[in-house]
Structure 1
Amino acid sequence: MEKEILPNYFQDIKITGFRIANPNATVIVHEVIIRIPFSNGAVTDQYAKIYKEVETKLKETEKCIDGHFTPFCVDGKAVITTLNPPPTEKELCVRNINVLFVNYFEPVVETEGLSCVSECDFSSPKYVDCNTGTCQIKQDGAQCFCPNTHKYLYTYSRCRGAVLIAGMYGGAGAAIAVLVIVAVILGVFFYRKKKY
């Protein structure tokens, strides 16, 4: 029956137990295992739809008539329960990630399937662009590590506004030298003006 209902999703049936209700009836407890692709919308929505299909099909299945039991009849006591609803995309994504970092990873559903990406990945909705730097996930979130910090000073976050340290010191030295020269010239000018 499950193969008819779920031709694209049916994976397996797992029998978890059974008991003899009376000489003509056996109660079989089983799980219907389905596989849902990520490329066709939200998994939880698909699961709810397939769950309803199974429930409807079981209600339509041949009923047991008093004293006349056919091999696959279902009596009115058939119960469908949801034992293991599918995990959400976020739950699947962070399943194997350390709990300290789960807030910095997001699920991305693509045609190939589900990917779990960090904020350092281009495909993340919360992508952190480090320009020329390297992005790494730390306990405080995505952090940018800038290259050549012994040569460059970065004036903005995320490795932007690189200034050559030697040029900065040279420029500062030149500016100080100009100020000293201007101060000396002004001092000489005022001294001579006072003298005359």
Structure 2
Amino acid sequence: AETGTTTLADTATTPVEIGTMTPADTATSPAASTTAPLETSPPPTSTAMPTSATTTTPATTPWTTTPKPSTSTARPALTCENGGTYDGEKCICTSAFNGPLCQFANDVIATNVSTFKTEVDVQVRVTNKIFTEELNNKSSLVYIDFELQFRLQMKTVYQSVAGYQGVIILNLRQGSIVVDHTVIIEAPLSNNLEATLASVTEQVVKQLEVVNTTGGNCSGQLCFTAPSNPVLKNATTNFSAADTCKESAPPGFAEYYSPHITEKGVLSCLTRCSQDVPDFLNCHYGQCQLKISGPQCACANMDVFWYPGDRCQTRVSKVGVGMAVPLVILFIGGIVLATFLIRARSRGSKARYRGQ
């Protein structure tokens, strides 16, 4: 046979199973399908994609990974109340609150207030000076000089009054110079405010009496005398312990705090959860907690005990009740059974008696 010419004899020497060729065979042997065409037999039907150089490598199935559920042990963030902040583990409360979520207000507010301002209006007369019209003008040099000198000497006059803070000139008028002025005192706190104010007035008057006895010895200074009743207005104050507590209390809780002066003379603001108040809320087997709705008792071990009252004053063991109920049922059942047996036996005895 000539080169390049293919005969039937040539094809016979190369066994080809016609009709049994698979798509895989055609995909892996392109040369065989092109060099031995048989016009008498149509090519086998195949749904495979046309062969190409890229189809000689079997496709590989990619590995698929199923994501595992997260096993993170991070705690859910807490919602802190009343200005508390979450640090990743717990709520950090402000100084006025406590509790796991900062939901409870503190029982006690320490104000550190130990004194209060009080004022006494009194009158003295400067005997060695003459009143002039310039003293009506508080901006004049004459008035400023007199005021400075008066304050300096009053500091000496009132130095024995505990808590003396200074004086304020109210009015100057003729006669030599009559000076109406306010004496400012920082008085110590006490549970009896009225008694403290009376004591302040008394101390001021006492010092003015001393002025009357030493008024003649005032060379180079202002000479003072005081009238027999120098007080224009007794000691007064704008201080209110109750108002101070309301201002110190956190918003929404002011009505639950009342003032209390400690033994050291310091103002504290207490709630009914404090044992130092007359109407102390005794929670017995629980703890008093101040919520926005007011003081309430939180009973202890609620999973173990029942508390019939609202102050945790009586508790009943759940275990005891659980054991007692079956025993009571058995006891009642025993009574019923015994009653039934007694009646049955009684009826039997009556029947035998009648039969005789």
Distance 1:24 1:122 in 2: 60
Distance 1:128 1:51 in 2: 40
Deviations 1:168-193 (A, max 9, x none): 13312320122123312331342243
1:85 to 219, 234, 237: 237
State the partner residue of 1:7.
Answer: 160
Cα distance change, pair 18–117 in 1 and its aligned pair in 2 (3 A): closer
Q: Which amino acid aligns with 2:208?
A: L
Deviations 1:130-183 (A, max 9, x none): 222012457997543312334312355632332112421331232012212331
Aligned length: 184
2:315 to 162, 165, 168: 162
Q: Which amino acid aligns with 2:222?
A: P
Judge conservation of contact 1:47–1:86 (CA < 8 Å) in 2.
Answer: no
Q: Which amino acid aligns with 2:195?
A: D
Q: How does 1:5-154 map to 2 (within 5 A)?
A: 5-7=158-160, 9-15=162-168, 18=170, 21=173, 25=177, 27=179, 29-36=181-188, 38=190, 42-61=192-211, 71-74=222-225, 79-82=231-234, 84-85=236-237, 87=239, 91-93=240-242, 95-97=244-246, 100-101=255-256, 105=258, 107-111=260-264, 113-136=266-289, 143-154=296-307
Superposition RMSD in Å: 4.0
Cα distance change, pair 53–14 in 1 and its aligned pair in 2 (3 A): closer
State the Cα distance separating 1:109 from its structure 2 match.
Answer: 3.0
Q: Which amino acid aligns with 1:92?
A: A
**Percent of aligned pairs with the same amino acid:** 17
Q: Which amino acid aligns with 1:44?
A: E
State the Cα distance separating 1:127 from its structure 2 match.
Answer: 3.2
TM-score, normalised via structure 2 length: 0.41
Judge conservation of contact 1:146–1:159 (CA < 8 Å) in 2.
Answer: yes
SS at match of 1:81: strand
Cα distance change, pair 173–195 in 1 and its aligned pair in 2 (3 A): same
Judge conservation of contact 1:101–1:139 (CA < 8 Å) in 2.
Answer: no
Q: Relative to total residues, which structure has the larger strand share, 1 or 2?
A: 1
Cα distance change, pair 9–64 in 1 and its aligned pair in 2 (3 A): closer
Which runs of no fewer than 5 residues in structure 1 stay unpaired? none
Question: Which structure's CA Rg is the greater one?
Answer: 2
Distance 2:324 2:293 in 1: 36
More contact order relative to length (CA 8 Å, sep ≥ 6): 2
Distance 1:37 1:83 in 2: 14
Distance 1:94 1:135 in 2: 24
TM-score, normalised via structure 1 length: 0.66
State the partner residue of 2:149.
Answer: none
State the Cα distance separating 1:107 from its structure 2 match.
Answer: 1.9
State the Cα distance separating 1:112 from its structure 2 match.
Answer: 5.5
State the Cα distance separating 1:119 from its structure 2 match.
Answer: 3.0
Cα distance change, pair 5–31 in 1 and its aligned pair in 2 (3 A): closer
Q: Which amino acid aligns with 2:331?
A: V
State the Cα distance separating 1:8 from its structure 2 match.
Answer: 6.1
Distance 1:108 1:35 in 2: 14
Cα distance change, pair 36–73 in 1 and its aligned pair in 2 (3 A): same
Cα distance change, pair 32–100 in 1 and its aligned pair in 2 (3 A): closer
Cα distance change, pair 194–142 in 1 and its aligned pair in 2 (3 A): same
State the partner residue of 2:118.
Answer: none
Q: How does 1:177-192 map to 2 (within 5 A)?
A: 177-192=330-345
